[in-house]
Structure 1
Amino acid sequence: MKPNRADISSGIALMSAMRSSWIDGRAVDDVGEVMSHRNPANDADLGDTVMADARTVDLAMSSARRCFEGSWGSLSPYDRKKLLLGYADLIDEHAAELTLLEMLEVGRPSSDAAALNAAAGDIIRTYAAKIDTVNGDMFRSEERRMGVVLRRPRGVVGAIVPWNVPVMNVLLRLAPALAAGNTIVVKASELCPRTTLLLARLASEAGLPNGAFNAVIGAGPVAGARLAEHPDLNLVAFTGSSATGHAVARAAASTNFKPVLLECGGKSPQVVLDDAFEDERIWALLFFSAFWNTGQWCVAKTRLLIPRAREQQAIDGLMSAAREWRVGDPADPATRLGPLASRGQLARVRGYYAKAGALGEVINLGCPRGDMQGDGYYALPSIVTGLPRGSVLQKEEVFGPLMTVELFDDLDDAIALANDTEFGLSASVWTARSDHGYKLARNIRAGGISIFSSVDAARSTGPELGTARYFEPQKESGLGIDGGEHGYLAYTTPQSLYFHN
């Protein structure tokens, strides 16, 4: 159902009620400058928010520390799990509001956001279940001595999250941190703070102690930098660009040896071998892998690597797939691709389109157009062919709907081409030949690689949200394990006890 004027009005009213950081169970709005917000679909005014400064971050840190050493830290694992499950239920009840906020703040199509946010509570439940199953290890048991390793919470976690998928970005940091027994301070993206603020308010409403989840709104160089460098912080988790990841790591190391988790940029290839071209349905999946969320996701497979003789077939196939991807008003349920999230992002993407036109041929894939208001921040899905090897378009993350089509001669050439980037986040391989798939996967330097033997295999398994699959980014894509039990353990610290009797 398309959100009507009343829904949108209620969403804007909800935004007006959330203008400032949420600390210690209440709004803190007496510091900082204000930032105005615009609707990416039409550039309409969405009100403003109060920006946090270093003092605001210090308040949030003090609240989180008191809570960790007090009410949250003293809870039994059973009670912590019970509160988190109640929180998950409350998130489910407010999924429609979270969806509306995402649509208004970053232009995500309402139907897409609704489908994703329907699973938001499950991220909390998945990590809450690990409270019962991850307890530590025994490393020696003899008559006179015994050794055990306890998994203890780190303390106060700082999370700096991006704007592209607001609800999921917060929960994928928040859920393992809280389940492991930490408290958390989340620095929301200043472009889309309201989903984070609503999640923080819901945590208080669900009965989580004041200070367990604090949310601050602020610019990266101010609030983000202060959070990362804070001497009382025990772990900083960052998702965003590689350049900012370097800045976060430097800030974290400047005051103490706090560990960092960094999931940074990507320039992910999808390598398609000759045998995969036999099924025409593949183009719909290749299109999705590159252009979902208008290309604004870190694992977008925006490099299509194909045999040299297959270029025209790839162009035709992608143009055919594009017919099913309508670009337009995010409130329209028929829309599959909305605008870019901000005016600044639109300018950045247009800059890459200009570079692409100077270096190769840019081909608009011809997605059908819905209501695209002239003031909206729209960019149309396109591919670029004929690029010289090693061009900036093949190496730099665009974070928009632009795919490079790159040609290889054999498997070794495909491997060299796939690795010719500073990033190593993700990749995919399409072939029914297990020997070829294995060789590619073993030699491509990326943290997570999917090998698809067929379109049916890809469709039957579906995507992972990050709660089961775990990996560590490589090269400039970051460091530290995300996802699964190992990702949960990253929010704990091992302590060994050795009993001698």
Structure 2
Amino acid sequence: MPDITHDEWLRRAKTFEVSGAHHIDGADEDGGGGVFAAVSPRDGQVVTEIADGGAAEVDAAVAAARRAFDTGPWPRLAPAERGRVLVRIADLLEERREALALAVSLEMGKPITDAYDIELRAAINTFRWYGQLADKLTDESPHSAPDALALITREPSGVVGAVVPWNFPLTLASWKIAPALAAGCTVVLKPSENSPLSALLLGRLATEAGLPPGVLNVVNGNGPVAGRALGLHPDVDVLAFTGSTAVGRHFLRYAADSNLKRVWLELGGKSPNIILPDAPDLEKAAATAAWGIFFNQGEMCTAPSRLLVHSSIAERVVEAVVARARQLRVGDPLDPATEMGALVGEAHLSRVRDHIGTGLDEGARLRAGGRRILTGTGGTYLEPTVFDRVESGMRLAREEIFGPVLSVLAFDDLDEAVRLANATEYGLAAGLWTSDLSTAHRVSRALKAGTVWVNCYEEGDLTVPFGGMKQSGNGRDKSVHAIEKYTELKTTWIQL
């Protein structure tokens, strides 16, 4: 991140302005509904008012996307030309990186350093990568009968509804928008009501980059109204959602009750992080375990919230994690030195604290944290929290907390570790620390998770897919495989 002081970020925050209007058909629209306040979790203050969309605004956005797909130029452009527009979006994201990072930090409490270095880097790289991929996708012509020609072509699916959460508002929006646009689809984006600022800036920036009107629309609003309207809309061909498993079920029902649109889901997680006695670097494993659960305030579906440690090294590892938790600098997200910012809001903080209380009631041992702090700021801050002596039947070990709360479970042998790791309805990610190559391969295959990190955590790039198994969802974001969600295979058989 550039050398910008805390005072300078505070000055910029005081003068930060963004229109809360929807972005529909290439223009800002206030809509006919009311407004809601965008409240910053760093201090509880209102940043701006946001147009509150409902069925009428969703109808307008979908109609614009349908026109743009059915009669507009976007699906008919040469793929290389679509790619050039996506690269221009990436360039503008880079150009406005500081303002966008500020928006993310203000709206959801992410430390400004992480917003700039991680969130914006991911969004920029995503648009650039899919922009460069757009003209490198190929169709197929299998060897068929000698008197026939068979063609298998990928065609854009149509109008895509994308509903994204607040924890990585630009990253997760980009993971859906960029491949959909590269494929030739049009998009209606419904950001979380907790993080509309960065999504609105992205929509306007994309229009500025040369995206034709109606190709990317942004509609604000809450899930039960605007999200439901998008899920039920008969002119939406594909729905891509990242969020809770409970809400994912709603989108499947919406599809069943409307036009049987395809629904792609990236849902919750309760990811295990297994540390074996032969870990190549036990200090690094412990430090990574602490970083993984406290990064982004623990508000990550892939957070390694269950630390599974061999009983012979459990206390050593837990002591190292606890020491890191107590050293972690929690504070104002706009301070570049802050390592953990604010949770997204009062309601979410209350839910996380309820889980902490339940853990104590169930008999787990609190080793660090557990308290709300910095109450005088008006923000929603929580101490990094560590429980050990957690049993697999406890809610701490079963339910997604989505906060900076680590549950430590001890095991005595590898088979027990795998059983504990898989003893969850989720299957998004997992970690494994070992020096044995055979163990790495065997355990990775045994873990029911879409991603397994060995001797690391949260690593990867856009060349590899991301998504879950079991109740963590279906389909994949990132990589060439994401294109599959936004295209239809067509077979053409030509008799010669």
Q: Same fold (TM over 0.5)?
A: yes
**Is 1:154 aligned to 2:157, yes or no?**
yes
Per the alignment, residue 361 of structure 1 pairs with: 365
The CA distance in 1 between the partners of 2:277 and 2:130, in whole Å, is: 41
Q: Over residues 198-231 of structure 1, what are the superposed CA-to-partner deviations in whole Å (9 max), with x where a residue is unaligned?
A: 0000011111101110000011000001101110
Among 449, 455, 479, the residue aligned to 1:484: 479
Q: How far has the Cα of 1:142 moved from its partner? A: 5.2
Q: State the AA in 2 paired with 1:363.
A: R
Per the alignment, residue 207 of structure 1 pairs with: 210
Distance 1:277 1:352, change over 3 A: farther
1:78-117 to structure 2, matched below 5 A, reads: 78-116=80-118, 117=120
Q: Over residues 149-196 of structure 1, what are the superposed CA-to-partner deviations in whole Å (9 max), with x where a residue is unaligned?
A: 111100110000000011111101111010110000000111110100
Per the alignment, residue 291 of structure 1 pairs with: 294
Conserved 8 A contact 2:39-2:107: yes
**Is 1:198 aligned to 2:204, yes or no?**
no
Per the alignment, residue 47 of structure 2 pairs with: 46
The CA distance in 1 between the partners of 2:50 and 2:223, in whole Å, is: 15
Conserved 8 A contact 1:240-1:265: yes
Q: How far has the Cα of 1:471 moved from its partner? A: 4.4
Among 281, 284, 290, the residue aligned to 2:284: 281
**Is 1:224 aligned to 2:215, yes or no?**
no
Conserved 8 A contact 1:186-1:214: yes
Conserved 8 A contact 1:23-1:59: yes
Conserved 8 A contact 1:108-1:339: yes
Per the alignment, residue 145 of structure 1 pairs with: 148
How many pairs does the alignment contain? 490
1:188-337 to structure 2, matched below 5 A, reads: 188-276=191-279, 279-322=282-325, 325-337=328-340
Q: State the AA in 2 paired with 1:290.
A: I
Per the alignment, residue 469 of structure 2 pairs with: 474
Conserved 8 A contact 1:12-1:46: no
Conserved 8 A contact 2:31-2:53: no
Per the alignment, residue 383 of structure 2 pairs with: 380
Q: Secondary structure at the match of 2:127?
A: helix
Per the alignment, residue 455 of structure 1 pairs with: none
Root-mean-square deviation (CA), in Å? Answer: 2.0
Q: Over residues 449-478 of structure 1, what are the superposed CA-to-partner deviations in whole Å (9 max), with x where a residue is unaligned?
A: 1122xxxxx49xx7225x221144111111
Q: Secondary structure at the match of 2:239?
A: strand
Q: How far has the Cα of 1:71 moved from its partner? A: 2.2
TM-score under structure 2 length normalisation? 0.94
The CA distance in 1 between the partners of 2:40 and 2:370, in whole Å, is: 25
Tell which deviates more after alignment, 67-76 or 215-224.
67-76
Q: Secondary structure at the match of 1:479?
A: coil
Q: How far has the Cα of 1:46 moved from its partner? A: 1.6
Q: Secondary structure at the match of 2:312?
A: helix
**Is 1:65 aligned to 2:66, yes or no?**
yes
Distance 1:90 1:472, change over 3 A: closer
Q: Over residues 21-51 of structure 1, what are the superposed CA-to-partner deviations in whole Å (9 max), with x where a residue is unaligned?
A: 1101111113212111222112122222111
Identity of aligned residues (%): 36
The CA distance in 1 between the partners of 2:112 and 2:252, in whole Å, is: 35
Conserved 8 A contact 1:11-1:97: no
Q: State the AA in 1 paired with 2:189.
A: V
Distance 1:235 1:123, change over 3 A: same
Conserved 8 A contact 1:364-1:381: yes
Conserved 8 A contact 1:382-1:403: yes
Q: Secondary structure at the match of 1:118?
A: helix
Conserved 8 A contact 1:267-1:396: yes
Distance 1:27 1:313, change over 3 A: same
Per the alignment, residue 423 of structure 2 pairs with: 420
Per the alignment, residue 121 of structure 2 pairs with: 118
